Structure 1
Amino acid sequence: MNIQSAHNLEDVRQMARRKLPRIAFDFIDGGADDELCLRRNREAFQQHRLLPRYLVDVSKRDQSTVLLGRRYSSPFGISPTGLAGLFCPDADRLLAQAAAQANIPFLLSSASNGALEDIAQVAPEHVWFQMYCTSDEKINADLVRRARASGVRVLVVSVDVPVNSNRERNKRNGFSRPFRMTPGVVLEALAHPAWVLRYLQTGGIPMMRNWAPYAPAGATAAQVADLYGTLTPAPMVQWGHLQRIRDAWPGPLVVKGLMHPEDAAHAVRLGVDALVVSNHGGRQLDAAPSPLEVLPAIRAAVGDDVELILDSGVRRGSDIVIARCLGAKFSIFGRPTLFGAAAAGAAGIERVIRIVRNEVDMVLAQIGCASFDQLHPGFLWSPGTPHATRAAPAPEVQHVEQRVAVPFP
């Protein structure tokens, strides 16, 4: 099926399902335990309603957004996703290129298959680097050094993986270290011959190149993956680790994964510039609330000046608009672009970005908001409150025409 026939992100997901063997698809698609958190992330958006406003001039619409001092063409970016090369050869490079073309950020995972130094050169203005603190302080410091030497402007520290979670789909499929291609896995995979052929041609599980420098010379991809597994997760990581990174990193520092308002406020006191409110896509604590549920409390705890980015569960342009109304300046998502890469490579990633960009544009027009930056809680319908009867004042749009409208490629 042609990727251009995908009308929404679920269409792309289903195309990827047909291309990937179950062991690979489930690695992307699955969550922890009973996967209640996965559903909760989507249901949280479904609890909100956007209130249409008409008879407003929305002939020129602008969804560009300034985040951490840089204007991006759309209010969303690509979340960090590890092992992307398993689903599409050279996926990290393709994701970086697509982000640069669309003028949105791409958060390169430290568990990527492409090396930080290489991917940063592909899109130097759009690649952020995401890292986990390991049990080795020297490696932590070296990851920060490498990001700085590679010209990365924004460093993201993920803090929400103190231990490996119970991802039962992966266990049932045998996706664990050491990776085992059991007879059952092989038999099911044969129904996806193109993927199997690529897997064999590229030598199996791709190398985690960011970790190869810390392994013995000549280490195989499996040996490097095992090293990564000994260094992370690191349950001993504390606030002091984050403080040392803040002291060493001269640019914008983002922390990903804090869900408690007190933790968010403490991170800001340490000098963190922005927060990604995330439950790791429902892949860590199945009983956790959705980021959208805790977003207003985190906004109240950190104040209006701290930039908040929402991650987990974003599947529609309306989700991004709702998140903005509740206090998130920006949103990111990872599964859809991985599915796009698996379905059709670069064209699949570009299709995902185009779908979401067009949805954001359409929603802005429907609610009478010519500029994404003008969104506020008054665009949400809240039955039973005075706000609901008044709704929001008609947006002032005169100055919007003076801004450069962002074309939709």
Structure 2
Amino acid sequence: MKGWLQQRWSRKKLARIHNLHDVERLAKRALPRPIFGYIDHVAEDGRTQRANLTAFDDYRFMPKAFVNVSQIDLHTELYGKRYAVPFGIAPMGISALSTYQGDLVLARAAAQRNIPMIMSGSSLVPMEDVAKVEGADWFQAYLPGTPEGIEALLERTKRAGFKKLVVTLDYPVPPNPDNFRRSGFSSPLEPTLRLAIDGLVRPGWLCNTFLRTLWKQGMPHFENNHAERGAPVISRQAARDFSGRRHFDWGYLDLVRRLWPDTLIVKGADFVFGGRPFNYAAAVAGQAGVEHIADLLQREVERNMALLGLTSLSQLNRSCLYQPSTGEVTPAVTT
């Protein structure tokens, strides 16, 4: 009876999600403000985010009519594996605070939809548990601050069964935390009155995620930053786990290459990984929500391909774009 009610409630939620804007609005209602603020966070005043969004306004698609698009193939081969679509789930830290055992939820949904999921190094579920999910062989590492720490972490990652290592080179120091503070989020996570009130007015998250985690797993820890278990999310040590990288240079990547025998990814342009929508969906409707978002995105890509008169991703090139500012079709280029 309980399982039937949960499935019915999940279907009602999914029926309200028609696009990525819908799932973001629902997640904002479902999650405490500090947790939503962590997922929604952008650096400083958001200038880079706005620039990324407005850059899309410079181009339009060039539709084509009277093309047979009855059979559209979205399969994409990446590092020797054939995936259903050209997108996957990006690494999202502390997703287990968004939904119960969030990393496992994302991994299982990715397996069901045959898309890759990159496990975050700042996750709260041990990598060994996630690696047991079929196809979960991508791990994103925040490299420890010493060669010895790096070697130990990579050895653990290999033992867990991961085959693809994604090295994060985004910053030598953490970004300005002002936006985190405005939302009430902090690292370490502080049990403030504001967080308590936010949890109480969101009983679904409080019971199904937070209290369920405490009951079954205890206080969440950063499990995968190092070879050994990291600090609890409320510990002062947690902040230090993400510091100490000012001295990194390309020599450290050479070290990783020598130590890591399998696929090493720094950045790639043939595939897109999205994080926020899948995390929002997991918070709203668990694994079913993540799969629903994957289906929505797949249908959008397929619909756009049909409107462009294309049947294969290999046919995509710059001639599919129109630039309103110049009034010209962007010429195709070979790379």
TM-score range, shorter chain: 0.7 to 0.9
Distance 1:381 1:215, change over 3 A: closer
Q: Is 2:121 aligned against 1:110? A: yes
8 Å Cα contact 1:28-1:335 kept in structure 2 = yes
Given candidates 79, 89, 94, the residue that maps to 2:100 is: 89
Residue matched to 2:284: 343
The 1:24–1:371 alpha-carbon spacing in structure 2 relative to 1, beyond 3 Å, is same
Percent same amino acid among aligned pairs?
36
- Measured against aligned partners, the alpha-carbon deviations of 1:207-243 in whole angstroms (never above 9, x if no partner) come to 2222475359xx65544x7256345351111111100
AA aligned to 1:5 is R
Following superposition, the deviation at residue 169 of structure 1 comes to 2.6
Distance 1:169 1:228, change over 3 A: closer
- Which residue of 272, 276, 298 maps to 1:331? 272
TM-score (normalised: structure 1): 0.72
**Distance of 1:238 and 1:205 partners within structure 2:** 35
> Would the aligned equivalents of 2:23 and 2:284 in 1 still touch at CA under 8 Å?
yes
Q: Does 1:30 align with 2:44?
A: no
The reply on whether 1:138 has 2:148 as its aligned counterpart is yes
1:205 offset after TM fit, Å?
5.5
1:9 aligns with 2:23: no
Q: 154, 169, 177: which is aligned to 1:159?
A: 169
Relative to 1, partners in 2 of residues 1:189 and 1:221: Cα closer, same or farther, differing over 3 Å? closer
Q: Is the 8 A contact 1:63 1:373 kept in 2?
A: no
Cα distance in 2 for partners of 1:367, 1:171 equals 44
Kindly indicate whether the alpha-carbon contact (under 8 Å) linking 1:104 and 1:126 is maintained by their aligned counterparts in 2.
Answer: no
| Displacement after TM superposition at 1:247 (Å) | 1.2
Instruction: Provide structure 2 residue ranges, at least 5 long, that are not aligned to the other structure.
Output: 1-11
Give ranges in structure 1 of 5+ residues lacking alignment.
Answer: 256-274, 276-307, 309-327, 393-409
1:76 to 2:87 alignment: yes
Query: Could you tell me how far apart the structure 2 residues matched to 1:119 and 1:81 are?
Result: 14
- Is the 2:124–2:221 Cα contact (8 Å) retained in structure 1? yes
Taking the TM superposition and a 5 Å limit, the aligned residue runs for 1:263-342 are: 275=267, 308=268, 328-342=269-283
2:56 is equivalent to residue 42 of structure 1: no
CA–CA distance in structure 2, aligned partners of residues 173 and 227 of structure 1: 19
The amino acid of 1:341's aligned partner reads A
Q: Distance in 1 between matches of 2:165 and 2:46?
A: 30
Return closer, same or farther for 1:134/1:228 CA change in 2, 3 Å cut-off: farther
- Describe the SS at the equivalent of 1:381: strand
The yes-or-no answer on 1:61 pairing with 2:111 is: no
Q: Confirm or deny that 1:388 pairs with 2:329.
A: yes
Q: 2:92–2:275: 8 Å Cα contact kept in structure 1?
A: yes
Q: Residues 362, 231 of structure 1: CA spacing in aligned structure 2 closer, same or farther, 3 A cutoff?
A: closer
Counterpart position of 1:353: 294
The match for 2:3 is none
SS in 2 for 1:241: helix
SS in 1 for 2:132: helix
Q: Is the 2:75–2:82 Cα contact (8 Å) retained in structure 1?
A: yes
Contact 1:120 1:127 in 2 (8 A): yes
SS at match of 1:156: strand
Distance apart, 1:347 and its partner CA:
1.0
Give the number of equivalent residue pairs: 317
1:156 is displaced (CA, Å) by 0.4
- Give SS of 2:258's match: helix
Change (3 A) 1:52 1:184: same
TM-score (norm 2): 0.87
Residues 1:172 and 2:182 are matched in the alignment: yes
Which position in structure 1 is the counterpart of 2:9? none
Aligned partners of 1:344 and 1:4: how far apart in 2? 11
Is the 2:153–2:226 contact (alpha carbons within 8 Å) kept by the matching residues of 1? no
Alignment deviations for residues 259-298 of structure 1 (CA, whole Å, 9 cap, x no partner): xxxxxxxxxxxxxxxx2xxxxxxxxxxxxxxxxxxxxxxx
Equivalents in 2 of 1:233, 1:80: separation in Å?
A: 21
Tell me how far apart the structure 1 counterparts of residues 99 and 14 of structure 2 sit (CA, whole Å): 15
Counterpart residue identity of residue 119, structure 1: V
- Partner deviation per Cα, 1:280-329 (whole Å, 9 max, x = no partner): xxxxxxxxxxxxxxxxxxxxxxxxxxxx3xxxxxxxxxxxxxxxxxxx32
Cα distance between partner residues in 2 of 1:220 and 1:79: 23
